[in-house]
Chain A
């Protein structure tokens, strides 16, 4: 049976993991390959590296990070952050990543999704969506910035708006409509982050997950809000998520991946056993 995936997310700045694991004895807690091995050994089903490098001079360092990691860790690796063009996608994949995650670039130019999907296959194109619950002021027609306003803009029925720049920039775009369009353009997966829930550890936005997951026919990764073991169960059982992503609770050691898998397993949710054996 297909198992639900548990995915730790690591922030990488200029080739180093920041906000990394600080509670265990690692030789170098900022070394992406060492951390990747650490999470692999814990039973992580996949890894996401988010490149938060601000300086353009250092942008290429993510490529050597991906090379290092892919030589040592043999589980799927997704890389996101700052990927703008099909050439960027190619470079990341050639370095050894399995998937790239597109966010702002896809909103600015949705054709990037279809171009990359046509060239490299949908299986390696993840569209990351940062969603925020709408306030009534956002229903204004003029708030639609990037698209044909008839297709994707917020309407009275919209509950979530797509944001960029870490939740600071509204786009006027409806999350569910954008998810459907991303799928149509060739995205193979959606990484859905609730900006309202992110960082609060009060649980994923279940309604958001469910709405998107039931709308599209591609896998949805839940992100933002995990604080307890039961939050993971909610995301899968009630939010219909295909995978759950978390960062700080793994990095701080609140739980390890094995704890999450044991708990989900005890709730009857299929997970890949830690240690990768049957």
Chain B
């Protein structure tokens, strides 16, 4: 343990009753962040960055976000230019709409969430490789075509291919990571992807440090 606790960047992990938030918290702590798990908009004021995790369905998650008054807060945060990282559903909810339900997403990204094509098992569950097409610092030092843990039935299909930062193959080539401005988001679970995943969180923590 070091005495640098005060210098650690404060990262808020958004809690909106969607999936295993504890492992995201633990992975970020291990990566050098001071982590606050919160579903309260007021807690974001003291944060240097936001991590938006999530598993489950788009509709119920969007309803939870709205009920907690977090939908607009998150959009404001993203527009403010401060570091933001989405994980799994936290990538999908950035888009405008989803095949999975009727609720609109946050709409930060143009495009929609589509069901994985038929012909293979759903969910797409397990370790798959990512071909990175980005020089964003959050993916620095992560080997090309290295493996990450995925669990999902839907995929993000952003309109602008320029923001796609990673590609993965499962029945079709799909967007497994995006990066633009202050936003990164991944379809896989870095907190469940061993060293490769921890490297991404460590990079994110460094990115937060350099941004604040």
Residue of B121, B145, B196, B197 with most partner-chain A CB within 10 A: B121
B147 at the interface (CB under 8 A from A): yes
Which A residues touch B153, using CB under 8 A?
A: 122
Contacts of B63-114 to chain A: CB distance below 8 A: none
Residues in chain B near residue A95, CB distance under 8 A? 22
Total count of chain A residues near the partner, CB < 8 A: 35
- B residues neighboring A (CB under 8 Å): 19-20, 22-23, 26-27, 30, 55-57, 121-129, 143-147, 149-153, 169-170, 191-198
Asked if residues A75 and B26 are in contact (CB atoms below 8 Å), the reply is no
For the complex of A and B, 8 pairs with smallest distance between CB atoms: A121-B56, A278-B146, A278-B143, A272-B127, A123-B151, A276-B194, A278-B145, A272-B147
CB pair B127–A2 under 8 Å, yes or no, is yes
Known: A74-B198, A98-B23, A242-B126. 6 other contacts (CB 8 A): A74-B23, A74-B27, A76-B192, A96-B22, A188-B125, A276-B196
Are B196 and A219 in contact (CB-based, < 8 A)?
Answer: no
Main secondary structure of the interface of B (DSSP, over half): mixed
Given contacts A74-B191, A74-B197, A278-B143, contact A123 B22 (CB under 8 A): no
Q: Complex: how many Å from CA A84 to CA B124?
A: 27
B residues near A121, Cβ cutoff 8 Å = 19, 55-57
Closest chain A residue to B124, Cβ basis = A2
Residue A120 at the chain B interface, CB threshold 8 Å:
yes
Return chain A residues, CB-CB under 8 Å to B127.
2-3, 5, 45, 272
Q: Which of A203-226 contact B (CB under 8 A)?
A: 217-219
Contact of A276 among B57, B126, B147 (CB under 8 A): B147
Contact between chains at B23 and A3 (CB < 8 Å): no
Cα distance A278–B153 when bound, in Å?
Answer: 25
A40 CB–B CB distance under 8 Å? yes
Contact B129 A76 (CB under 8 A): no
Question: Which has the most chain A C-beta neighbours within 10 Å: B147, B169, B170, B192?
Answer: B147
